[in-house]
Structure 1
Amino acid sequence: MVNGHGGNVDVLRQVSDVCEHEGMPIFVHHLTVPGGAAHAGPTETSLVLPFDPARVRRRSSTSCRDWVRTAFGP
């Protein structure tokens, strides 16, 4: 299972424990971006933009290049 939301860590740990107890162990991977910003910030926006640009509200954003620089450095 892949988790992209920090708030889900505890509940997914519990789910994993229950599944293991019931004989169906699962692996949970928590995605992180070192130095990443909060929701809808430069990090998430730069990751979503190439795959689904229609979901990005460009009128309230800077350029993609600026997002990438902010999220990942020059």
Structure 2
Amino acid sequence: MPSPQLEIDGRQVARALDLDVDSFRRLMDDGRIAVLCERGTGEDAGTWRASYYYQGRRARFPVDARGRIRPA
């Protein structure tokens, strides 16, 4: 099964990290926000989780096999 293209709206990430969108974009461009994308295994096979980290804050977005964000 091919991996979905994960597209997470920057506004959602910015809000979850308590940042305004312009600051979020600038920090992403500067490489100051870390991103980790994990693929589910076992009973979570076919799902993904994208996590964003900035200054001790974390925003996590579980994503289903179709690339849609699921409720956490």
Whether the TM-score (by the shorter chain) exceeds 0.5 is no
Higher-Rg member (1/2): 1
Report the structure, 1 or 2, having the larger helix content. Answer: 1
